[in-house]
Structure 1
């Protein structure tokens, strides 16, 4: 985030701190010697000022309003909902990671888990299947993107305010155990029941790699995780051995992930010591990433597929290949996420994901879509894509 943008929110933060001080000063001042009228309360104080003033002057027992204010401040500022709201004043991709969600966040990029093998989001109080993970039990049974989960075992989960953590606790479980779900599918009048046996769900980042014809290879990368460079290298080596001369790299609906994964893939295609990406931030300065290693596919024709679900590291890779005249980019306009986050642990084992810099393509272009209208509007715009049927474009939770 730029200094000027941060400065625009400084009055909000200063006002919040000063307001708490004003509460105490006003309440203890001589003006509080008599009961404030409703008109005075409306014109002179905020609602909380007025409430504390009434308590201080009219409550049946003697109350230390200073202590009451301290409790209010402590409880309010440590409430996860307050923390979530706080991050909306920063940018759309800085956020608080609740401790219950942190394990799933790490597993998504680094490990395996036992579950039914779906990626989901909760939209309009309904569990929406974003995708059935490749090779998982749900995909094998025919669960589809866009399916809505209405019931899990004997529990109704639609329209009751179910949370991500509750869904994951119900759908994940030890390998070999069974969970039953009822699904609503577009075009079907009745709910469709599924009996799913949980299994180990590997978090692969390369979905498929195969030859389309005698000279054209195809590789689909669904995210950039810690293992992506190794999975991708194995796929290219396999296709090279089958005579690949040109490659289609599919980054559609790839929400991003680790920057180094995208840099490593770019280095497989770009010869020499060319600029791949640079990042720049107020506190971290400028950092450049360049090619340099001997790549596995530096000469053949390369086509990269993107859509509105291609974000962050996907856009960095596509931008690097385009700016270095190494690939033709085909598809729809990508998501527009060009902010760099780092994850910092908190004492209660939750964490903060904080934007520290911006990505720039070799030509100096920032790919970040505007969030001038606020975080809610930023994501509402994206959710319209999902509600119009492109459910694969959403990066959701896994279960």
Structure 2
């Protein structure tokens, strides 16, 4: 029986998972991992929750609405998934890799989850209130029921930890920087995948100055040079930078003061506004889903899309300052991979940089969508954060086995 490992990504209303197989030979080469099946429990805590699992060939293994009690909260969803996996797997996984949004200033790599690591990550929850506690919830369940399984934390901030210190500061008294108030950057697992992909398949691009635009429900962009993070748009929390589905992106801090002083809003109300009621959802008054906005004739929907494309392009251009230009732009994640219109409109704002895309290639979703005479090449590369987590989990498992 071959060994398996699991990847878990627990969000505010979803629980995603993938299961990978390790070769029968017993080698622990991260390049030999095989995807077996994966899926998610979506809509946790609602009446429309759903459980869906697909196999390696796209075949449906599970696809059903869930009873409310099965998915009334994250804990219930975890029990549902644990029971399904227990029935499906012939023996427990050798390791579980977890996506953890915030790793703080002291975590520049993935790590085996010990008591100390768990306490450290838990203390960072105020910096990622929608994510951190949910990311860590499955860790605690597995530690309680299957303590023998090695668990690995793969943090989104680690990819950015080696940026020039200059790019991490805010213009605040330095004591706050020393207390952890600095720019961290996020979506690092996605950027790591794109960097690794370029190194393997597009080595010339990998060596250059590449803007990677991770455009999804949460959005950010990062300048990568020679495979390393130079500067990114997100900062102290996952609220900063590009406009997002329900988060505003860059915002004058005075707005928060105005809410507190003039509208007497408390911290919980402001947190809900910033994380759940803003972004494209707030600006349009309709939805945070880009597909819905693009299909709408409502003037507010048009405004939201116009704003998204302009502010995103503005930020992409700003990422060129540290490297004095760019050689390529990569679009990835849900919107970046699947919306030709958004890609085209963002690139229109960057035409002054010599960016030109081929409309037909863009509509087809080709890998390279720029024209031969474009000064900056433009690409569409699907991301795979789960594979990065799986590789990291296997790497730590192999090191752990060597140390025994």
TM, length-normalised to structure 2: 0.27
Decide which structure has the larger Cα Rg and report it: 1
Higher strand proportion (structure 1 or 2): 1
TM, length-normalised to structure 1: 0.28
Higher helix proportion (structure 1 or 2): 2
Tell me which of the two structures has the higher relative contact order, counting C-alpha pairs closer than 8 angstroms and 6 or more residues apart: 1
